[in-house]
């Protein structure tokens, strides 16, 4: 078995969605996955090809059997690692959601970038939720529109991840939406 000592285990599956509320409703009512935590109208900076753009997005987070599921709805048209999905919708696609990334939490982002590059990937963008934090997206032609996300190690994030995953494992269907608006 291949052991990946640089990237480690997948922590999250991330989907781009046309409408966050419709997507969360689908996951709850058709897949039985919830509750959903998250944020609406989150400002962030996207970096694509060295160019920065101010983006606004809403994000839903749920947990299923210990895996975090992220739904991302970019609500403006600024350039970002997510825009290819919204360009397809604007061109007539009826996609409601699409897998965009699998995420890894890494202790050394630069070492992980180097490892990904040695495996034939290149950086396709970054999301900067704050000036000192970057989520780096890496992809390759073989991944065809999907990326991996490299998240810097954050113990607070992991503690909240474990708390929410444990709560989700016991969820009885009540209080399905727990989102904060910015």
- Sort strands 122-130 and 133-139 into parallel, antiparallel or unpaired: antiparallel
What pLDDT score does 1 carry? 42
Whether 2 shows a pLDDT value over 60: the answer reads no
| Residues 57-109: tens digit of each pLDDT | 999 999 999 999 999 999 999 999 999 889 888 888 899 999 999 999 999 99
122-137 average pLDDT score:
93
8 Å CB contact between 15 and 70: yes
118-136 average pLDDT score:
93
> Which of 152, 164, 127 lies closest to 47 in space, CA to CA?
127
User: What distance, in Å, lies between the first and last C-alpha atoms of the chain?
Assistant: 44
Per-residue pLDDT band for 3 (boundaries 50, 70, 90) equals: low
Per-residue pLDDT band for 131 (boundaries 50, 70, 90) equals: confident
Q: Which percentage of the chain shows pLDDT scores above 70?
A: 98
8 Å CB contact between 4 and 119: no
Question: Going from the N-terminus, what domains does the chain have, and what CATH number goes with each?
Answer: 10-170 (3.10.180.10)
What pLDDT score does 6 carry? 81
Q: To which residue do tokens 């109208």 refer?
A: 41
Q: Enter the pTM of the model.
A: 0.94
| Residues 11-40: tens digit of each pLDDT | 999 999 999 999 999 999 999 999 999 999
Cα 68 to Cα 98, 117, 124: the distances in Å are 16, 25, 22
> Which of 73, 63, 68 lies closest to 98 in space, CA to CA?
73
8 Å CB contact between 145 and 84: yes
């Amino acid at each position: 078995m291949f052991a990946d000592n640089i990237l480690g285990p997948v922590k999250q599956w991330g989907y781009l969605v046309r409408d966050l509320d419709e997507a969360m409703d689908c996951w709850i009512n058709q897949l039985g996955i919830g509750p959903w935590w998250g944020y609406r109208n989150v400002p962030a900076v996207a970096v694509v090809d060295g160019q920065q753009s101010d983006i606004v997005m809403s994000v839903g987070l749920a947990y299923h059997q210990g895996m975090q599921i992220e739904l991302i709805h970019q609500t403006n048209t600024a350039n970002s690692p997510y825009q290819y999905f919204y360009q397809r919708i604007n061109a007539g696609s009826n996609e409601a959601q699409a897998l965009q990334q699998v995420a890894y939490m890494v202790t050394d982002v630069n070492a992980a970038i180097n490892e990904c590059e040695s495996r034939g990937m290149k950086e396709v963008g970054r999301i900067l939720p704050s000036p000192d934090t970057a989520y780096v997206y890496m992809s390759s032609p073989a991944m065809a529109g999907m990326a991996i996300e490299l998240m810097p190690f954050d113990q607070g994030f992991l503690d909240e991840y474990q708390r929410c995953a444990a709560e989700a494992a016991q969820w009885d269907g009540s209080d399905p939406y727990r989102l904060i608006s910015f």
